[in-house]
Amino acid sequence: MRTAVLLFVVGLCVLNAASSLKICAFNVQSFGESKANNKKVMGILLKILSRCDLCLIQEVRDSKGTAIQALVKDLNRFDKSNSYSYVESERLGRKTYKEQYVYIYRNNVLTIKEHYQYPKLEGEGTKEVNAFSREPFVVRFHSPTTLVKDFVLIGQHTCPRNAMKEINELYTVFKGIYKKWKNDNVMILGDLNAGCSYVTIKGWGAVRLRSDPKFRWLIGDEQDTTVREKTHCAYDRIIVHGREIISSIVPGSAQPFNFKNYFHLTEEEALQMETSFADLLKLCFFRNSCYIIP
């Protein structure tokens, strides 16, 4: 089992603290009752999530629905300066194995305008049912204090063996969402398994999200979004589309956040969480007024 990291953006907007957003994607592998009852794991998760205005949690495996409730309740106790809510997808999976996507967000900063569970579809021109192992969960957020008022997040956790096919199909998802909501400020994020043995140089040429220059890949192929010292793979990605949102990103701020090093954990301790690094992206929604925190 490979373990990845949390994706974060680190920047600061000079004009007003409320004018910037930190957006994260975090694969908390097999998050359920067991992890929710582990005080050490939950303590680290709370510290990580409190760094984010908005975080996509992946691989939630909790049929009772109590683990996320407990996590958000504890997060509100931990960070009293903010108020957190969440929205969750259906339980997704082709067979008995099911996962959920969950967006945890500061409701004193953001509101949800609408959300959409992408449906299971027939693969075009093939006999294969379902383009995705876990269909994307799409949420449209409203940010009243920023220049970009509305933006869309498409969360996705691909199946490793079909990673390139699923990444390519996200282009179709984008087109459908744009037609539905007429909003081109879109961010695709999550554990796309977009690195190492799951992708090929030749295969990238057929991936429409890579060949279309309107999409900006913020996590490069050379970056490492894994916890294990013996791996160096850019599995987790953030991809953005839209003139306004691209121009609002703090340059160089989309980076893997190595929580193992930051919180002085051993590899064994980090693997107990079985998470990815958090991938963090910071958006400054007042143009030409941001700088990177040293």
Q: Which of 135, 138, 144, 219 is nearest to 169 (CA)?
A: 135
Cα 172 to its chain centre, rounded Å, is: 19
In a domain, 181, yes or no: yes
Predicted confidence (pLDDT) at residue 290 exceeds the cutoff of 90: no
In a domain, 1, yes or no: no
Q: How many angstroms separate the CA atoms of 172 and 170, rounded?
A: 5
pLDDT band (50, 70, 90) for residue 20: confident
- Residues in Cβ contact with 268 at an 8 Å cutoff, skipping those fewer than 6 apart: none
In a domain, 224, yes or no: yes
Identify the CATH number of the domain in which residue 125 sits. 3.60.10.10
> pLDDT tens-digit profile of 83-122?
999 999 999 998 888 999 999 999 999 999 999 999 987 5
Could you tell me the CA-to-CA distances from 292 to 3, 13, 213 in Å, in that order? 28, 9, 25
Q: How many angstroms separate the CA atoms of 102 and 270, rounded?
A: 21
In a domain, 32, yes or no: yes
Task: Return the percentage of the chain with pLDDT > 90, whole number.
Answer: 54
Q: How many angstroms separate the CA atoms of 61 and 91, rounded?
A: 8
Tell me the sheet residues that pair with 154: 138, 188
Q: Which of 88, 135, 157, 241 is catalytic?
A: 157
**pTM of the entire predicted model:** 0.87
Q: How many angstroms separate the CA atoms of 271 and 290, rounded?
A: 35
Handedness of CA 283, 81, 156, 30 (dihedral sign): positive
Q: Which two tokens stand for residue 179?
A: 């037609």
Q: Please check whether residue 91 is in contact with residue 100, taking contact to mean a CB–CB distance below 8 angstroms.
A: yes
Answer yes or no: 157 catalytic: yes
Amino acid making up residue 107:
N
Burial of 158 (0-12, 13-18, 19+ CB in 10 A): buried
Greatest CA separation for the chain = 54
Predicted confidence (pLDDT) at residue 19 exceeds the cutoff of 70: no
Q: Which of 59, 88, 99, 274 is catalytic?
A: 99
Q: How many domains does the chain have?
A: 1
Q: Which two tokens stand for residue 171?
A: 């282009």
> pLDDT tens-digit profile of 209-257?
999 999 999 999 999 888 777 888 999 999 999 999 998 888 878 888 7
Amino acid making up residue 41:
V
In a domain, 115, yes or no: yes
Residue ranges making up the domain that contains 142: 6-291
Would you state the pLDDT for residue 285?
Answer: 47
In a domain, 154, yes or no: yes
How many residues make up the chain in this entry?
A: 294
- Determine how β-strand 6-9 pairs with β-strand 236-241: unpaired
**For the residues 57-80, what does the mean pLDDT come to?**
93
In a domain, 272, yes or no: yes
pLDDT band (50, 70, 90) for residue 204: very high
Predicted confidence (pLDDT) at residue 18 exceeds the cutoff of 60: no
Would you state the pLDDT for residue 64?
Answer: 87
Answer yes or no: 115 catalytic: no
Q: How many angstroms separate the CA atoms of 93 and 269, rounded?
A: 29
